[in-house]
A and B are shown apart, each in its own frame.
Chain A
Amino acid sequence: MTGGAPVAHMVIASGAVVGRVAITDDVGCEERREDSPERPSGAAMLRLALTRLAWAIPLLLAASMITFVLVALAPGDAARTILGPYAPQAQVDALRETLGLNEPWYVQYAAWLASALQGDLGSSLLTSQPVTDLIVNRLPVTLALAVGATIVCALVGVALGTFSATRGRIGSGLVDFVAVLGIAVPNFWIGIVLVAVFAVWLGVLPATGYVPISNSVPLWARSLVLPVVTLAIGGVTLIAKQTRDAMRETLGRDFIDSLRADGWSEGRIVWRHGLRNAAIPIVTGIGVFFTGLLGGTVLVENVFAMPGLGGAAVGAAVGHDLPLIQGIALTYCVIVVIVNLIVDLLYAGLDPKARIAR
């Protein structure tokens, strides 16, 4: 779970949900009474989307700037770090020249940004392959992992959480217990254990590797099972916890009693009305959690030798391949931005109050 769900855990535990609501507030979910009747839904949603996209710009700038700032700030010479302590000074100087390290960092950044905006993220220092190509090749693997794990987490977590919210002490205690385990056990370790059990011992699933979807859909799915489960295990308990709390809060509200008094069955009340209302905080939680899960792909790809962005990121960090790690970090941030946007739109779709334009 390292790098994955714990972030989400910390974030959820610390009330980022509140933060998101605050952001949406800025966008315009002001509560209105009778004076704002029919909602201008489409326009409001578009407005919301644009505002959120505008908000994403500083994030992307910060993420793309980080390498340049670090190179400028970090003690020692980046070119020396890249080439190692035994490289001749002349070679180091040459590399400094190639990388433009003699310029101030903002000049370097401006040059990089100018070509990045045209889709050119530079070339890998190690393989000379264009960074953009490498990212495009590896992105599907990481996306498949992250999206798959998110879906598994959401489905299983919501079901578990709802179950424990309605089954009182035992279900609730179980979720608490599993949640402690889920948070405590590192995901790279879970991955290795799963390999031990399902690949080495039972021999039913491949231990490592990835089959592109274009080769064979069933084999592709098979190659994803263990990594997705590994990535999802920690998150399931977090979402279950989040769901349980949201469901409890919702089921304690007056309108639920009114529905009971109106003769609706408990099942319908829980799954239709309860879940629909609880979904608002849950979706927010899933969005925050996704950021952490994305980080978790780094370790999981490593455990399962998946040719994704995470594996490349580790390689780039080891080899001090600055243009490559820079491009990868930016890609991760773009994914976060897109997912946050989807979450916000979902949120607005779920909560009628968030849909009303100012």
Chain B
Amino acid sequence: MIAPDSTAALVTPSRRQASFGRRLLRRPAAVTALVVLAVIVFVTFAAGWLAPYDPLANDLAASLQGPSAQHLLGTDQLGRDVLSRLMYGGQPSVTASLVVVVVALLVSIPVGVVSGFVGGRFDQICMRIVDLAQSLPVMVIILVVLAVVGEQFLLAYTALGLLMVAPVVRNVRGSAIAVRHELFVDAARASGVRPLVIVFRHIVPRTTGPILVQATIVASMSLLFTAGLAYLGFGVQPPNPSWGSMVAEAATVLRANPWMLVASGGLLGVTIACFSIIGDTIRDLSVEAWAQPVRQRRRGARRTARTPQAADTSVDVLQVKGLSIAYGGRGAVFDVDLTVPAGTVLGIVGESGSGKTTVARAILGLLRGSGEVSGGEILFRGTDLLTLTDRELRRLRGTGIAYISQEPMVALDPTRRIGTTLSDSVRLHRGSPRPEARRRALELLRLVQIADPERVMKLYPHQISGGMAQRVSIARALVADPALLIADEPTTALDVTVQAEILDLLRDLRERLGMSIVIVTHDWGVVADLCDSAVVMRHGRVVEEGPFEQLFYQPQHEYTASLINRARELAELPTERVVS
């Protein structure tokens, strides 16, 4: 029945709903919290039978005692038993919170569901009011209410419930919108099911999760607020106890008996913490599938104490030998060999999931998530990159090996102007002073054939097109004249005509700068256009390698042949068009 959820966008698919209750019970923290809450509520309402003393019975002889066998939590200044007072004091505290929660949910759920489901004018007006209500300082408004209504605390608690409606409405509405756009709702609507039926049959059950999360938040907040009000003297009047007023009493006898403060505040804290834990768990359960920590793990697998050899330009720029990579212990790339002679372009071709991007990122030492190199060597100009320290590797990035990524639009810091990004990079790699760096940045923009570099320097990434962004990325890669450029699907995200331009640019740069390029792609057109040789990858292994012509016209492996045939079928190969 329960579809846990925390935010608007996330609505769990229905097949996960059945197991939700069980999954909640598998979380020890949540179970503990539920049990503790149940005990507190039970003891509170069974105080009449369970409490060892009359909460109002004075015993001045036993005033302000610490915990003892007679008084488990000690006594207050009138010698009243603190434990018994806490038990009885729970009644007004819990009841007040209950009023707040019930009012808040009764109003917010229908408004939120309808607002999200109906949309339009009604929704707009609701959201305006919600915005407004969220800008009100709740505590102050409650004091206004109390000033007017006096001792009628039930009215004040109702008002408090109303003040908590806004954020819940926002949340429920979000979930309702998410569900509204799902196919089965459209289908139901198209087949003429009445809106009210859709709301009750589809929308309400699917928003139960977010509502539960919100309910726990409202519950903990109403406990805090009502306790705060009780602390200020609004609520059950002395000598009757409530949790909040007991904190106030404890404050007056701080010096004589600090224990009383610990007991009263602690109970309040534990109760509220239980609600928080339950709410957090429900939220976690609903997002755990995709909320993985983004954590860049460094490769530390093979840090043998080999000294980096002196750079040797005569050997191949890049040589990868027997490279294996695993994600969290599961192999992803196996025993891959690559060779890139100076000034040549190597293509790594394969379908998605073949491990080609993983290999490219491993060369830079930028494996994602739990990725780790489990074996092999990556020799850059004769130096095994896997033996370098983080610092040495970092120094090599950008200067020796540069990188351009698949999605040019998100490869640039959105808060910095193009000019700043480029000059920063120049200053990092060249140590140039600012004006010099700026001049160099302009030069680079011209080098990548940007027509109006002065203007582009002033723009932010969101103001330029994808093709332009990729040119800027390439310009950044060229800052320090790297010997090797790794391009991960550099044209995939671009329009066809722009793709051709970028490929032209890369070819031109390679000829002019004598740079080696490793290009990761699934597109044989790109290979045909740019590459001297290529490797074909499948399931993390190299299935075939060789000069481009050989691979293309005489594939030895049937997988290569099938890839090329499929590419031929899909289009008259863009090869024809681009090859010059």
- Tell whether A pairs with B: yes
* Best-surrounded residue of A181, A314, A317, A325 (most CB of chain B within 10 A): A317
- Flag B117-145 by CB within 8 Å of A: 1 or 0 each: 00000000001101110111111110111
Whether B146 is near chain A, meaning CB under 8 Å from some CB there, is yes
The residues of A that contact B402 with a CB separation of less than 8 Å are: 261-262
Return chain B residues, CB-CB under 8 Å to A169.
Answer: 293
Q: B413 near A291 (CB under 8 angstroms)?
A: no
CA distance A315 to B411 in the complex (A): 57
- Do A3 and B413 contact each other (CB < 8 Å), given the known contacts A32-B463, A81-B150, A317-B146? no
B37 at the interface (CB under 8 A from A): no
Known: A168-B295, A180-B280. A263 touches B265 (CB 8 A): no
Looking at B6, B127, B221, B477, the one whose CB has the most chain A CB atoms below 10 A away is B221
Whether the Cβ atoms of B217 and A32 lie closer than 8 Å is no
Q: For the complex, is A117 an interface residue (Cβ under 8 Å from B)?
A: no
Bound form: Cα–Cα A109–B95 in Å: 35
User: Measured between alpha carbons, how far is A353 from B462 in the docked complex, in Å?
Assistant: 7
How does the 8 Å CB contact mask read for A284-327 relative to B, with 1 for contact and 0 for none? 00001001101110110011000000100110111111100110
Q: Is the CB of B224 within 8 A of A352?
A: no
Inter-subunit contact B144/A196 (CB<8 Å): no
Of residues 531 through 562 on chain B, the ones whose CB sits less than 8 Å from some CB of chain A are none
Q: How large is the interface on A (under 10, 10 to 19, 20 to 34, 35 or more residues)?
A: 35 or more
Which of B131, B140, B395 is in CB contact (< 8 Å) with A313?
A: B140
The answer to whether B315 has its CB under 8 Å from any CB of chain A is no
Contact status of A193 and B265, CB under 8 A, knowing A276-B415, A352-B460: yes
As a 0/1 sequence over residues 38 to 60 of chain A, the CB contacts with chain B under 8 angstroms (1 = contact) are: 10000000000000000000110
Residue of B nearest to A254 (CB): B410
Q: Are A352 and B366 in contact (CB under 8 A)?
A: no
Measured CA separation A260–B398 after assembly (Å): 9
Is B57 among interface residues, defined by CB-CB distance under 8 A? no
Residues in chain A near residue B261, CB distance under 8 A: 189, 192-193, 196
Tally of contact residues, B, Cβ under 8 A: 105
Q: Say whether A258 contacts B411, CB under 8 Å.
A: yes
Which one of B45-53, B69-77, B168-176 is at the interface? B168-176
A257 and B405 contact, Cβ closer than 8 Å, known pairs A11-B167, A67-B148, A329-B140: yes
Q: Say yes or no for A259: interface residue by CB 8 A criterion.
A: yes
Nearest-Cβ distance from residue A170 to partner chain B, whole angstroms: 11
Pick the most buried of B127, B218, B293: most chain A CB atoms within 10 A of its CB.
B293
Measured between beta carbons, the chain B residues less than 8 angstroms from A332 are 137, 140
List the B side residues contacting A316 at CB < 8 Å: 143, 147
A326 vs B258: C-alpha distance when bound (angstroms): 38
Q: Is A240 an interface residue (CB 8 A)?
A: no
Bound together, the chains give a CA A168 to CA B296 distance in angstroms of 9
Q: Which of chain A's residues have a CB closer than 8 A to the CB of B127?
A: 19, 22
> B465 interface residue, CB < 8 Å from A?
yes
B38 contacts the other chain (CB 8 A): no
Cβ-based interface call for A15 (8 A): yes
Question: How many pairs of residues, A versus B, come closer than 8 Å at their CB atoms?
Answer: 311
* Given A3-B139, A16-B134, A291-B135, A183:B397 Cβ within 8 A: no
Query: A15 vs B258: C-alpha distance in the bound complex, in angstroms?
Result: 39
Q: Are B397 and A37 in contact (CB under 8 A)?
A: no
Interface residue stretch chosen among B246-254, B304-312, B320-328, B517-525: B246-254
Q: Are B465 and A34 in contact (CB under 8 A)?
A: yes
Q: Give the dominant DSSP class at B's interface.
A: helix
If the complex has contacts A33-B465, A184-B269, A196-B258, are A254 and B139 also in contact, measured as CB distance less than 8 A?
no
A3-B225, A180-B277 known; A262 and B398 CB under 8 Å?
A: yes
A123 within 8 Å of B (CB atoms) = no
Residues 478-511 of B contacting A (Cβ, < 8 Å)? 479, 486
Q: Which residues of A contact B141 (CB under 8 A)?
A: 63, 66, 329
Which residues of chain B have C-beta atoms less than 8 A from A336's C-beta? Answer: 135-137
In the bound complex, CA of A291 to CA of B137 (Å): 6
Contact between A320 and B147, CB atoms less than 8 A apart:
yes
A262:B294 contact, CB within 8 angstroms: no
Tell yes or no: B268 within 8 A of A by CB.
Answer: yes
- Looking at B181-189, B198-206, B228-236, the stretch in contact with chain A turns out to be B228-236
Do B403 and A248 have beta carbons less than 8 Å apart? no
Residue numbers in B under 8 Å from A325 (CB-CB):
143-144, 147
Interface residue from A15, A37, A59 paired with B459 (Cβ < 8 Å): A37
- Across the two chains, which residue of chain A brings its CB closest to B131? A19
> Do A186 and B247 contact each other (CB < 8 Å), given the known contacts A75-B152, A81-B148, A336-B135?
yes
Q: How far is the CA of A299 from the CA of B412 in the complex (A)?
A: 46
Q: Which of the residues B148, B268, B425, B429 comes within 8 Å of A186, measured between beta carbons?
A: B268
Contact B258 A6 (CB under 8 A): no
Q: Could you list some 23 contacts between A and B, CB below 8 A?
A: A2-B139, A2-B225, A14-B167, A15-B171, A74-B148, A76-B152, A169-B293, A183-B272, A186-B224, A189-B264, A192-B265, A252-B294, A257-B366, A258-B412, A263-B399, A263-B429, A276-B413, A291-B134, A295-B137, A317-B143, A317-B147, A320-B148, A336-B137
- Among all A-B residue pairs, the 7 with the closest Cβ atoms: A2-B228, A3-B139, A263-B398, A261-B403, A295-B139, A14-B167, A252-B294
